Structure 1
Amino acid sequence: MPGTSSFHQRVAADKRAAILAAAATLFGTQGFARTSLAQVAAAAQVSRATLFKQFPTKDALFDAIVEEVWAPGVRLTARLDPTDPGRGLRELGTAYADLIGRPRTAGLVRLVIAQAPASPELGRRQFDLGKMPFFEEVRRYLQAAAEAGSLDVEDATTAATQLLGMISNFVLWPRMLLPDWDPAPSEVAHAVEEAVLTALARYGRR
């Protein structure tokens, strides 16, 4: 029955969310290396069989956390018009600010930094599975805008680095040092707008 199928899907989704939340908390409080899958299952209040079926290893579990945190930012460029870079960069900048401004993103970054001495591979996987796919969205859009003649960009990688760096320097990195850093939405929007205007001033067609 469709209703029964939908119910089971919701239950499975709820269990998955509970597992990811429990794992993120345990990884952050007691360390990745010292956390076992059995502990995650107990904290999430699911059976070990349920957890092992979805995540047979801790690496798979960590990768799922990274992908869930960054998932809202992928596949944006497919609907952005490369001939309207002002609008396109504002949408990308706003999406990036929203992603890195979420508590879960900040928690993931803190986890990776804290665990770097014992588990340096976590940083590489967070970079490859999380940050880089979004970075590639921005780089591809800048390249497309250059090919469309709406931006004068020779090095899309550098341009993407500059744009995202201006935003993260206000939205994310102060949060790593200041627990009470919580800029208002208007302040975040202002930071995004200034970053976009700076990019357009540097790369806009004259």
Structure 2
Amino acid sequence: MSGVVTTYHQRVAQEKRALIVTAATALFLELGYDRTSLARIAERSGVSRATLFKQFPTKAALFDAIVTESWSTADEEDPPPAGNVVDGLGIIGRRYAELLGRAQMTDLFRIVIAELPRFPELAHAQFSHGKMPYFESVRDYLLAEHEAGTVRIEDVDLAATQFLGMISNYVFWPTLLVPGWEVSAERVGQVVDEAVRTIAARYAVTGSVRRGRPARRRPNAEPL
């Protein structure tokens, strides 16, 4: 019985957390980060202030949670196994396009861009908690393919940036600049397929090719 009660309380806590994050995101967009108080977020989300403060003691902690959840992938999928770079990048590319297509991702970037002059720490949080961890997962996959001998990549950071940039520059960034910009599911698939083909044409090893130098890691690389 205690296990059932614990599960119930966990579910309720998760539901309240989701309500808080949704309300906070809407208010940050509507009023701006500075003018949005935790008390106002509690009121909008329909939870008590005590409940909100228990989960998010500061507004910065709440924003960090928004970033982390926006960049998390559905069910936290494992990276594809190394051995077939075309299939692997196809899986990663479709996941990335789906991630960028979420409404909360567009909202997140709009908040960061709008508040950047006064709150540069928001951009830092977005980069360090969201963008960079995702970029590193793609970089690690390409490194695994390099070590498996399926690709030869001297600069794995650059290759990961190239791949993600080909997708985001078509399916995501215009949504922030062009009113009504929409990309059909069919077109998204084409964009991902072309990005995969481009990377494979540049880096894939054909036949029996002697493995090159280990792919370089540059911790200060900045993904697009």
Q: What TM-score, normalized to structure 2?
A: 0.88
- Pairing partner for 2:78 from 76, 90, 100: 76
Partners in 2 of 1:75 and 1:63 — Cα distance? 21
Secondary structure of 2:72's partner?
A: helix
Structure 2 counterpart of 1:67: 68
Partners in 1 of 2:131 and 2:77 — Cα distance? 13
Structure 2 counterpart of 1:94: 94
Structure 2 counterpart of 1:112: 112
Structure 1 counterpart of 2:59: 58
State the one-letter code of the partner of 1:127: F
8 Å CA contact retained: 1:76, 1:92: no
State the one-letter code of the partner of 1:47: S
Structure 1 counterpart of 2:205: 205
Structure 2 counterpart of 1:23: 24
Task: State the 1:3 CA deviation.
Answer: 3.5
Task: State the 1:30 CA deviation.
Answer: 1.0
Structure 1 counterpart of 2:144: 144
State the one-letter code of the partner of 1:24: T
Residue pairs, 1:32-43, within 5 angstroms = 32-43=33-44
Residue pairs, 1:109-188, within 5 angstroms = 109-188=109-188
Matched length: 204
Structure 1 counterpart of 2:13: 12
Secondary structure of 1:90's partner?
A: helix
Normalized per residue, the structure richer in helix is 1
Task: State the 1:122 CA deviation.
Answer: 0.5
1:48 aligns with 2:49: yes
- 1:156-177 deviation digits (Å, cap 9, x = unpaired): 0000000000000111001001
Q: What TM-score, normalized to structure 1?
A: 0.95
Secondary structure of 2:201's partner?
A: helix
The runs of at least 4 consecutive aligned structure 1 residues that moved more than 4 Å come to none
Partners in 1 of 2:117 and 2:146 — Cα distance? 41
8 Å CA contact retained: 1:19, 1:41: yes
**RMSD across aligned positions (CA):** 1.3
Secondary structure of 2:176's partner?
A: helix
Q: Which structure 2 residue ranges, 5 or more long, are not aligned? A: 207-224
Q: Structure 2 vs 1, CA of residues 179 and 4 (structure 1 numbering), >3 Å: closer, same or farther?
A: farther
Partners in 1 of 2:117 and 2:35 — Cα distance? 13
State the one-letter code of the partner of 2:71: W
Partners in 1 of 2:144 and 2:4 — Cα distance? 44
Partners in 2 of 1:136 and 1:152 — Cα distance? 18
8 Å CA contact retained: 1:82, 1:148: yes
Task: State the 1:5 CA deviation.
Answer: 3.0
